[in-house]
Structure 1
Amino acid sequence: MSYSSFFGRSRDADFSMFSASHWIALASVLVVCLLLFGCRFALRTRRRLRLSVRLLLAVILLSSEAGLQWWYISQGIWKTDSSLPLELCGLTVLLSAIMLLTRSRILYAFLYFAGIGGASIALLTPNLVYPFPHFRFLLFFISHGAIILASLYMTWVEGFKPSWKSLAFTMLSLNLTAACVWVANSMLGSNYMFLMRKPSTYSVLDYFGPYPYYLLVEELFAFVVFLCMYLAFFWLPERVRSRNQRMNRLPY
């Protein structure tokens, strides 16, 4: 493999969604998530190991964004209307690193939903043109996988939990963020967060109707995804646990 085919701007082929390399990348992210889940008890009892994992994840997140910016500059294509970290996943990369370094519950309340939900959708339908083993392909899946791992770490190891207030806070924060990014788009002539038009590659937005209606459908879709994330992984298990505890206290 030549340097240009790994790192260069040009490419011989385009990324193919749900190709073998895409499935392998998704499976790799899933395996690492399961490994973190399996190690959660060991991490809880080892302070230095917890700190090492938090710092490692933060370094991966910050390095992925630095690597992306370095690639833009090295290829002579860095532009204010396309290279700033103003996409949702670009923002959550940086916020996830800060959350890990500071153990911020406020950032966690936002990132559990927006980070995991947004990165998961991005992994399933990547806005990506470079195929494996290009640098951009590897960077995309590493950074988005690390976003998910950051919030899962805070949940499984540090014991953080979202709440109904977290869901409302996330929706409010997303709308405020979108408003700020819309202003930036208007000033820069950009399309960050796809607020001005849909991406050129296939995405879930293709099912949400034309502009600007897809923005409203996207917000409803985000709310439903976040709601399911809370109900399935927190509200329902807690209800089942409480019910079992009540049943165990009943006299026979």
Structure 2
Amino acid sequence: MVSLSVDHGFTAYGPSHWVVLGLFAAGAATVVVVGRRQRSRRFPRAFAAVVLGLQVGIHVYLMLPPRWDVRSSLPLQLSDLAGPVAAWALWSGSRWAFALTYYWGLTLSVQALVTPVLRVDFPDVGFLLFWATHLFVVWAAVYLTWGLRRRPGWRDYRLAVLVTVTWAAAVFALNVVLGSNYGYLNRKPATASVLDLLGDWPWYLVPEAAAVLGVWALMTWPWTRTRTA
């Protein structure tokens, strides 16, 4: 999850947060309706261009002085990777990209909407980019799943687990080299978080991984049950 740390007064579940959540609900309903009515490739490709453009925008913003820091500005969080993957899923219809968008977008990006690591408030450009990037990834997952009626299966689940474990191993090693903490794999975040309930490092990684695998399994089971019923 991208963290924007200049304090301009953002408060979780304050007025601006509720406005964003309202926009999220309205946008999710809209993309479902559009997906069921629209069969042209123009809409998903325009959607993909917006998603990718927003991802480029926020990372350019984070890499410019004075925000640049190799330990926090690189696009190495899973939520950072979810944007380009979602854009490719929309543009190409790729099965693997849809699978990762479904699992990453509907858990990690939704978590960013519910528990944002954000201190800048509207109309700061960081506020706008943070919310836009996360909203559009979740909307992409909703559009592909409920708008276009694409369905994940256990093969997709295994793919998402394999890719995520590979990412975790690579990023853990990079954190050791850089002294960074991408993915909060090498230590807990400095601020209070749900990880505080899971024990000390590295033990909190075990229940965290188990929770992710369990939630993803629950997100897969209803669709496979419907197909085999």
Fold agreement, TM-score > 0.5 = yes
Indicate yes or no: 2:79 matched with 1:89.
yes
In structure 1, C-alpha distance between the alignment counterparts of 2:199 and 2:141, rounded to whole Å: 31
Match of 2:110 in 1: 120
Greater RCO (CA < 8 Å, at least 6 residues apart) = 2
Shift of 1:41: 2.3
Using a 3 Å threshold, how does the CA distance of structure 1 residues 87 and 10 change in structure 2: closer, same or farther?
A: closer
Shift of 1:133: 2.6
Match of 1:167 in 2: 157
Shift of 1:158: 3.8
Amino acid at match of 1:125: T
Question: Which of 100, 110, 122 matches 1:110?
Answer: 100
In structure 1, C-alpha distance between the alignment counterparts of 2:65 and 2:217, rounded to whole Å: 41
Question: Which of 179, 182, 187 matches 1:192?
Answer: 182
Using a 3 Å threshold, how does the CA distance of structure 1 residues 181 and 237 change in structure 2: closer, same or farther?
A: same
TM-score scaled to structure 1, two decimals? Answer: 0.81
Count of aligned positions: 226
In structure 2, C-alpha distance between the alignment counterparts of 1:145 and 1:133, rounded to whole Å: 17
Indicate yes or no: 2:221 matched with 1:231.
yes
Match of 2:201 in 1: 211
Match of 1:5 in 2: none
- Do the aligned residues in 1 keep the contact of 2:85 with 2:100 (CA within 8 Å)? no
In structure 1, C-alpha distance between the alignment counterparts of 2:60 and 2:123, rounded to whole Å: 18
Using a 3 Å threshold, how does the CA distance of structure 1 residues 10 and 105 change in structure 2: closer, same or farther?
A: closer
Amino acid at match of 1:60: V
Match of 2:70 in 1: 80
Using a 3 Å threshold, how does the CA distance of structure 1 residues 26 and 236 change in structure 2: closer, same or farther?
A: farther
- Do the aligned residues in 1 keep the contact of 2:82 with 2:100 (CA within 8 Å)? no
TM-score scaled to structure 2, two decimals? Answer: 0.88
SS at 1:213 equivalent: coil
Indicate yes or no: 2:176 matched with 1:176.
no
Match of 1:246 in 2: none
Shift of 1:236: 5.1
Q: Deviations over 1:75-128 (max 9, x none)?
A: 432122211110010011121112222211012122211222111112111121
Shift of 1:237: 4.8
In structure 2, C-alpha distance between the alignment counterparts of 1:187 and 1:98, rounded to whole Å: 30
Match of 2:44 in 1: 54
